[in-house]
Amino acid sequence: MHLDDRIARRMKLHDLHILMTVVEAGSMNKAAAVLNMTQPAVSRSIAELERTVGVGLLDRNARGVEPTAYGRALLNGGTAAFDDLRQALKDIEFLADPTAGEVRIGCSPILAMSFVSAVIERLSRRYPKIVFHFVIEPIEALPRELTERNVDVVIAQRLGAIMDERLDFGFVFDAPFVVAAGAQNPWVLRRKIDLAELVNEPWTLPPRTSALGSTAEEAFRASGLRYPHTTVFVLPTEVRISLLMTGPYLTILAGFALHVPAWRSAIKVLPVELALHRVQVGIVTLKNRTLSPVARLFIDAAHEVAKPLAKSKR
């Protein structure tokens, strides 16, 4: 019997789900408890899968079980298969009621607080039954959330090339990088400032090893300046903004961060020219993955909200 025939006639989604649970749990006993099954029943299911595909799927060791190379390949396909089934069910739900459904959005905290919240507010007014799930992660972690199909779309700034060939980046809007300070900082009274004047001021910047940290470092290098005196290294933008509001610090951030209403009066952009390209913000999706109708509605709403931002050259 050819492999395709074995799959069509004998492989069961239930057995595939059990395999995924066993690998996630790390042992047959733990998986049995999660699945509310007996351990022998779990073992029989795995054995049946192994007979169907003709290779071993799990390695047993003192710590439990680990997938073999064959098992990992089947798990990757199983993840995609279950995701496609979920998307199909979402399509059916949407056909039954086009105003309801769920969408899972991956983004950084700062975009969640600003642009993405504005998109959700607009879409919720039109379709109040839609449920939104946020997955908040640093920029570097978001591609994994997509490839593991934990989210439908990612909203993120593009820092360099998209290295993962499995992903697509769709431009939505761009924004400048700016130097910002708290509203009480004496530098906000100046009408023009050269970046060199600020090198010895106390700064809070992202770690130099991060993508945002590299961008900040490039701003000084492009102006022929040494790296500034940095008092606090911290990655999350919202933490750096909090420091600006309570202390004498300066920072470099993307201009869209200041669209958060609570910060508009507390944080000011200094009149400093940075030799940096505008940061692009876009929608990242997994290639060859069919998006649910609700995810497509979210993408359309994102482009609508972005229209004023695209025209702005702040």
Q: Distance (Å, rounded) from C-alpha 106 to C-alpha 156?
A: 8
According to the model, what pLDDT value does residue 289 have? 84
If phi > 0 it is left, if psi is from -120 to 50 it is alpha, else beta; for residue 299 that is alpha
According to the model, what pLDDT value does residue 270 have? 97
Terminal CA-to-CA distance of the chain, rounded, Å? 65
According to the model, what pLDDT value does residue 5 have? 52
- Are 97-174+280-311 and 177-277 the same fold in CATH? yes
According to the model, what pLDDT value does residue 163 have? 66
Domain 177-277 has CATH 3.60.20.10: no
Domain topology for 3-78: Arc Repressor Mutant, subunit A (1.10.10)
Q: What is the DSSP string of 186-237?
A: GGGG-S---GGGGTTS-EEE--TTSHHHHHHHHHHHHTT-PPP-EEEE---H
Retrieve residue 69's tokens.
């190379």
The list of the chain residues with pLDDT below 50 reads 1-3, 8, 313-314
According to the model, what pLDDT value does residue 162 have? 66
- What is the Cβ-side half-sphere exposure of residue 163, based on CA atoms within 13 angstroms? 6
- Tell which residue, 281, 313, 307, 274, has the closest CA to residue 177: 274
> The domain 97-174+280-311: what is its CATH number?
3.40.190.10
According to the model, what pLDDT value does residue 1 have? 43
Residue-range domain boundaries for the chain? 3-78, 97-174+280-311, 177-277
According to the model, what pLDDT value does residue 96 have? 59
SS3 state at 220: helix
According to the model, what pLDDT value does residue 122 have? 93
- Tell which residue, 137, 206, 156, 177, has the closest CA to residue 272: 177
Q: At what angle do helices 69-96 and 39-53 cross, to 10 degrees?
A: 100
- In terms of pTM, does the model score above 0.75? no
